[in-house]
């Protein structure tokens, strides 16, 4: 019977922390260059804020401004996917890589995709926020660790001296 590879979901964004988590995953979890593992790179594109009232200048966002904001968000998502797939090829050009861009709050998107795909492992980076920042801003990695049913690996970037 052929051995089945693992489906590993890696949450990526434009930050250095997620790039470090991805490179750590490739260097430490994917050891066999003929691996049957599948690496799924997930970028959660935060929805544009909806303004139902006038902004502080008294104007509503025009459709052209909203279109420009959406185009910029799409460009960011594409740049993140390009950067992370290039990193995968540089560190292990034999692994199968799939990419996904989903819309929504990153905490919810990552949790929902992990459940929907029934991945074997979720890898997320950590910003290393202290207790106060984590309480105010929320922690994607903490949310995933508490809510995702598969194993979650939180990779912290080493602090520079």
Better-scored residue on pLDDT, 54 or 80: 80
Strands of 96-103's sheet in order across: 96-103, 38-45, 7-12, 121-126, 152-156
Per residue in 98-155, pLDDT tens? 999 999 999 999 999 999 999 999 999 987 665 555 555 468 888 898 999 999 999 9
Topology (CATH) of 7-48+60-156: Rossmann fold (3.40.50)
Q: Residue 4: count other Cβ atoms within 10 Å of its Cβ.
A: 9
User: Residue ranges of the domains in the chain?
Assistant: 7-48+60-156
Predicted TM-score (pTM) of the model is: 0.83
Burial of 5 (0-12, 13-18, 19+ CB in 10 A): middle
């Amino acid at each position: 019977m052929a051995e089945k590879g693992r489906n590993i979901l890696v949450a990526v964004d434009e930050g250095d922390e997620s790039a470090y988590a991805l490179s750590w995953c490739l260097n430490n979890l994917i050891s066999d260059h003929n691996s049957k593992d599948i690496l799924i790179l997930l970028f959660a594109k935060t929805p544009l804020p909806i303004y139902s009232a006038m902004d502080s200048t008294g104007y509503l966002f025009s459709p052209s401004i909203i279109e420009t904001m959406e185009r910029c968000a799409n460009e960011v998502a594409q740049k993140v996917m390009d950067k992370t797939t290039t990193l995968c090829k540089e560190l292990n050009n034999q692994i199968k890589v799939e990419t996904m861009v989903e819309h929504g709050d990153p905490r919810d998107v990552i949790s929902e995709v992990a459940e929907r795909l029934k991945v074997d492992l979720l890898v997320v980076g950590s910003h290393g926020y202290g207790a106060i920042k984590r309480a105010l801003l929320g922690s994607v990695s903490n949310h995933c660790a508490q809510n995702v049913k598969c194993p979650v690996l939180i990779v912290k970037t080493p602090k520079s001296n």
